[in-house]
């Protein structure tokens, strides 16, 4: 970037939230509360997460006790569930791009702070399972070290104070409305990375809203740019999914003129929750036909307003017949762009064809081409011979 005018605003320090920003805690919340409530004859509603996202632990506990009319005081409830959550901290995975961002900023000497509504002891426990995280932060501050949690700006003001920097020189990355509100009140530049879709107010309040940490461009804030993009694509740690081809929404061929090969998300819903919505590419193996280049979308398809997260692969080959019921296996190796809405069907179709061009060209690069030989595409077991 040649000119300073291209920057959104120059910053020197970065502050990160933890839950929902760096760690995928929603899955653990669902599992723990599902099991806990079953013992009380109640069923966990995933929509409850919307009410507690960004809240302090005490506020979240209060909301759950009230919403589910549990026979506990808030203090009793916290005492009951705390050990259940503690047993799960080791299972929480980093969100897409989290480790990449932390390593990048640390390697370039950018001062980092971690500020979360969680108690400091719990923060330390959570990040202890992620190699290199703890030593990357010059400041780690928990909600029990300030008098008021988010949306009060106190925790972020204190983080800046401990780093000996003015809040206006800090870039905050947050996932929730309370966190974004706190950051702006502290006088910081704020990027929102929503952990839950359709959080009203984020677009108007945050300085930038991105789909995932994969879409962060530090150079826009005067920070060192990532150097790992390859001809407009981002190599990712490959992941593998598969299943029989099923009938989808009926819009691939009929509406878009693009025949997608859908597989049911039921068998790998946990895998989908670990990956950011967006457009990816890789290799597809059909049990009785061969191996083909593939581009696919993951997400809610905002143009069609899906109610659940889906995966829709497009095999880049002309087939003369349908292959419903055949075993389809996918090796996803690269990322193109975030999920987006479009003003018209024509603009959506044009963008999909652009994604196809990018995928077809990129899969010929050595970085991605070697995965065509992955044993997973041909047999039950797979062998990862490539390194990203």
Q: Is 30 labeled as catalytic in the residue annotation?
A: no
Average pLDDT of the segment spanning 64-70: 91
Q: Which residues pair with 192 in a beta bridge?
A: 174, 209
**Segment of 125-139, 198-212, 260-274 carrying the highest mean pLDDT:** 125-139
Predicted confidence (pLDDT) per residue in 133-175, tens digit: 999 999 999 999 999 999 999 999 999 999 999 999 999 999 9
Instruction: Output DSSP code: residue 298.
Output: E
Cis? peptide before 151, omega within 30° of 0: yes
Half-sphere exposure of 198 (CA within 13 A, CB side): 10
Rounded to 5 degrees, φ, ψ at 31 are -65, -45
pLDDT band at 256 (very low <50, low <70, confident <90, very high): low
Of residues 174, 208, 215, 312, which has the active-site annotation? 312
CA separation, residue 239 to residues 54, 107, 235, 246, 249 (Å): 30, 26, 12, 21, 24
How high is the pLDDT of residue 287? 81
Supply the mean pLDDT for the chain: 88
CA separation, residue 378 to residues 82, 238, 283 (Å): 45, 16, 11
Q: Is 312 labeled as catalytic in the residue annotation?
A: yes
Predicted confidence (pLDDT) per residue in 307-347, tens digit: 677 888 999 998 888 888 889 999 999 999 999 888 998 99
CB neighbours of 132 closer than 8 A, spacing ≥ 6?
99, 102, 103, 106
Q: Is 17 labeled as catalytic in the residue annotation?
A: yes
Does residue 279 carry a pLDDT above 80?
A: yes
Q: Which residues pair with 335 in a beta bridge?
A: 234, 280
CB-CB neighbours of 149 under 10 Å = 23
Of residues 19, 154, 175, 189, which has the active-site annotation? 19
Average pLDDT of the segment spanning 369-382: 79
Question: In this structure, are residues 150 and 166 in contact, taking their beta carbons and an 8 Å threshold?
Answer: no
What percentage of the chain exceeds 70 in pLDDT? 90
Question: In this structure, are residues 210 and 311 in contact, taking their beta carbons and an 8 Å threshold?
Answer: no
Rounded to 5 degrees, φ, ψ at 113 are -130, 150
CB neighbours of 142 closer than 8 A, spacing ≥ 6?
116, 117, 118, 119, 120, 121, 122, 123
3-state secondary structure of 289: coil
Give the Cα separation of 121 and 109 in Å (integer). 26
Residues found in the chain: 388
């Amino acid at each position: 970037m040649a000119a300073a005018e291209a920057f959104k605003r120059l910053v020197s320090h970065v502050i990160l939230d933890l839950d929902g920003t760096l760690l995928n805690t929603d899955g653990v919340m669902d599992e723990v509360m599902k099991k806990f409530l079953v013992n009380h004859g109640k069923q966990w509603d995933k929509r409850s997460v919307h009410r507690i996202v960004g809240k302090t632990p005490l506020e979240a506990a209060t909301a759950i006790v009230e919403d589910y009319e549990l026979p506990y005081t808030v203090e009793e409830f916290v005492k009951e569930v705390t050990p259940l959550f503690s047993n799960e901290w080791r299972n929480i995975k980093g969100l897409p791009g989290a480790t990449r961002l932390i390593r990048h900023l640390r390697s370039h000497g950018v001062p980092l702070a971690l500020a979360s509504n969680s108690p400091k002891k719990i923060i330390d426990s959570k990040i202890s399972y992620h190699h290199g995280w703890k030593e990357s932060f010059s400041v780690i501050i928990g909600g029990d070290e300030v008098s008021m949690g988010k949306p009060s700006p106190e925790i972020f003001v204190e983080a800046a104070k401990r780093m000996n920097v003015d809040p206006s020189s800090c870039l905050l990355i947050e996932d929730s409305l309370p966190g974004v509100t706190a950051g702006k009140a502290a006088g910081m530049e704020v990027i929102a990375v929503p952990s839950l879709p359709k959080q009203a107010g984020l677009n108007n309040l945050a300085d930038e809203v991105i789909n995932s940490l994969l879409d962060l461009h530090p150079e826009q804030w005067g920070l060192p740019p990532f150097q790992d993009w390859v001809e407009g694509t981002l190599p990712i740690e490959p992941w593998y999914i598969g299943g029989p081809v099923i009938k989808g929404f009926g819009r691939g061929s009929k509406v878009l003129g693009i025949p997608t090969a859908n597989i049911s998300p039921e068998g790998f819903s946990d895998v989908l929750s670990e990956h950011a919505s967006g457009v990816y590419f890789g290799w597809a193996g059909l049990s009785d036909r061969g191996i083909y280049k593939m581009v696919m979308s993951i997400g809610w398809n905002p143009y069609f307003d899906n109610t659940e997260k889906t995966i829709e692969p497009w095999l880049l080959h002309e087939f003369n017949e349908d292959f419903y019921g055949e075993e389809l296996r996918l090796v996803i190796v690269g990322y193109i762009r975030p999920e987006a809405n479009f003003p018209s069907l024509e603009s959506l179709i044009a963008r999909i064809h652009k994604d196809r061009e990018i995928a077809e060209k990129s899969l010929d690069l050595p970085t991605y081409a070697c995965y065509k030989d992955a044993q997973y595409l041909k047999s039950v077991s797979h062998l990862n011979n490539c390194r990203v």
